[in-house]
Structures are given as C-alpha cells and as structure tokens.
Amino acid sequence: MIRISFILAFCALQACAQRTYYGQLEILGKFPSKLTEVSGLEANSHGDIWVVQDSGNKDEIYKVDSTAQVLKTYKIDHAKNKDWEDLAMDSHGNLYIGDFGNNSNERKDLTIYKVSHTELDKKEPNAKKIRFNYPEQKRFPPKKNKLLFDTEGFFHWQGFLYIFTKNRTRPYTGETLVYRVPDTEGDYDAEFLGSLFLCMDQDHCSVTGADISPDGKSIALLTYGFVFLLTDFDFLDLSKAQSKTIDLNCDTQIESIGFLDNGTLLLADEERKKTGRNLYRLRLN
C-alpha cells in the first residue's frame, strides 16, 4: 500500500513537470497486405527502413522504401519468431531483433538476435543470439501486481541494448522497468537501471516501442497514442530526464517507432478492423 501511494504521488509530480504537445502524423504509405502486424521499425542514416512482424508471423525482416513498399525480404537463419517486438541498429549497421514479447510474463527464453551488417547482403542472413533474463523476476508468471516483464521496446547505444518493459500490472501502476545487456553474443542477467513512470492511464502509458536519435540526445518512447520524448538524461538513471509528451491524436494500434534523423520520427501501426497498416512521419519541433 505504501509503494502504491508513493507511485501515485510520484506520477502526479511527473505529470505536473511534463508538457503535452500535439503531433501531426503524415501518412507516407500503406504496407502491403502481408504486413498487417508491423511490430518493430528501424531506419539508418542512408534512409533504409527495416520492419518486422510479431508472433505468428514468419522468421523474416523486411526492407521497405519511404512509401512502405517492400524492397527486399530476408529469411533469418538460426532465428525463430516466437514474439518479435522491436528492431534496433548500431552505428556499424548491425541489426538487432528483439524476441522478447512476453504477454503472460511466463517466458524463460528471452532473446535478442544480432544480424551483422555483412550478413544483410545475403538472402538468409545468419543471426547470433543474445540470451538474457530479468533477475528481479522470481516467479513465472508473477502475481498480477508484478506483471512488469513483457517487453516491446529497445534501442542500441555504445555497446549496450537498452530495454524498456511493458506494464501489465493489475491494478495498473504505470511503472516501466529499464534494463540493459551487452550487444555481443552470450547469456546475461540483464542489468536493472531503474524505473520510469510515464503516466497512470493504462490506455496510454505502456511502452510499445523505443528508439534513440542518431546524436544520442533524445529518446523516444512510444505508447498507445503518445510519444514520450526524453532529453537531458543520464543513461544509468533515466528517471531524472526532461520529458515532453506528444499526443499523436490517433487511435490506431501504433506499435513501432524509429528515428529517421535527429528531428524526424517514423512510426507504423498494425491493421485493425480495416484501419492502420500505415507508415507515418512525425517531424519534431
């Protein structure tokens, strides 16, 4: 009870410190019908755009153009799409696939697949495995008020993969756990870096995607209908970052986000009831 009261008070302070802006999404194009569940997106400095789909789909990544049309499809060797939820890329062009979707908080096989930039010239690129666990999770699944170990967002920065969990607690606490693991093949206990409290509305506060700007000065955390833009941060304690809330004014299931450049975000939504399946651009002021 004390912890819940503290969280509520903390979130109230956070909400007072944040300012909300309204973003203008620009539709760039519609994905082909085979890409109805785009769950992760990444772009590089050359303007190449990569997308991935989540559980129930093929073990493939897709290179698309700026109108959402598929340029190339890659079958990833030594990888299985149990629940691929996000993509990340490092400064060398190596691509990382986050197979860490964990709706029920029961998984013990959390994996990030690393695909070398040299493998992306091949039709079936080979992937290396970065396996990890959350040391703070003791039960599989945990109690309802500890359902903090689903994940849909991460990014790469200077040798590490920063992971943001998706809150499924009941009652909802608004807490997002932040972890990191090295970007090299191996088995790891994820390093716990702390918690974030974005807001207390379950419909808008659970992280569904994440990315960092090329200059490393801005972190974008996507939730349902909102982007939380973090600046002036310490990677080891993101709770002290400055936070700007961008209302996307959109009620489709947007689950993918990536920086195209320091001032531009790309986003994608899944198809639901004949809506969505679009690639969007959001220019940041």
**pLDDT tens per residue, range 46-87:** 889 999 999 999 999 999 999 999 999 999 999 999 999 999
Residue 174 has pLDDT above 50, yes or no: yes
Q: How confident is the model at residue 202 (pLDDT cuts 50, 70, 90)?
A: confident
- Mean of all residue pLDDT scores within the chain: 93
Average pLDDT, integer, range 166-170: 97
Share of the chain above pLDDT 90, in %: 87
207 neighbors 243 (Cβ within 8 angstroms): no
Residue 179 has pLDDT above 50, yes or no: yes
CA angle 233, 236, 239 (to 5 degrees): 55
Q: How confident is the model at residue 137 (pLDDT cuts 50, 70, 90)?
A: very high
Predicted confidence at residue 18, as pLDDT, reads: 59
43 neighbors 50 (Cβ within 8 angstroms): yes
Residue 1 has pLDDT above 50, yes or no: no
Average pLDDT, integer, range 151-175: 97
| 219-223 and 175-182 beta bridge pairing | unpaired
Q: Measuring CA to CA, how many Å separate 135 from each of 149, 180, 244?
A: 11, 12, 31
Average pLDDT, integer, range 202-230: 96
More confident residue, 243 or 5: 243
